[in-house]
A and B are shown apart, each in its own frame.
Chain A
């Protein structure tokens, strides 16, 4: 089986008054992700090919995937498949990559969400809505110790587009 080719569709960049090591810790430890990532706890085997999970506060699996690159404290990349929501779990997995670079006295964090099929804008809107909230909260946690309390729902158009995509399965050629 050949690896699918992932094309970047959503990129979010922020700068954080922190160190590369602390940003790495915030991205990869459950203690941190619970604070800024909607209460989800990350669970990751720290090696290429390892298992990646995001769990709901009650322990159920929300996302699952595998580690594509584990290069602390510079690059963490893994595939994501939604497990915990109907319809969404039928979509092909996407690839999420975090790049961490020193930028003077701050750290530049770049999140890239890439896909192996032509994803409609209505579905991309999910990530484009969510990432600014998640990564704004991550920055606040690292700089102030306090997370942001942002309530987000998946956009309605997104859920309709997901239903349509699941019915047509455009990723199958």
Chain B
């Protein structure tokens, strides 16, 4: 085997390398050399089998890749939504006028984090889209609420609370930490997922309650794995 294909016409009767054969199959040989290979192939059944095998490999790769695309089109919801995501990103802050840093950040944003266009319509769809957009804030809120709850539980029963500094009214944060009731936790079953509501009751007339809604999407959990 020549290793990298021959250059220039071969002498009649000479055999060709596998590299020549591959170049012939790929149409990479000059016309005169391609004719010489074709003549040689006519008398070489083993070389013809090699050529046929190359063709089979090519067909396998092409057909497999096309079938995988067909399957993705049907099985991957994000496929159908691709244009709407592209359009949204193109028009974010005006087409072609995005600040470079923001444009770069947006350009790196992966498909799987943007499911807003594929969600249900109506009120619930609006809630879900809001949640997708504010996931970070909700997460921060949930962590803060969890930390506050943990602190309250660690401090034990809160029947009588001694506030340092006699006669001095505690500020709202102190009261929330030291005197609040444990939060109520409620589980939800929601469309394509599940949810939890943590409710922190107000501790007095001048206090206000808080609620944290945590929603987990089944789609996120069941995302398609590698092929």
Q: Tell whether A and B belong to one assembly.
A: no
Seen from chain B, the residues whose Cβ lies within 8 Å of a Cβ on chain A are none
Seen from chain A, the residues whose Cβ lies within 8 Å of a Cβ on chain B are none
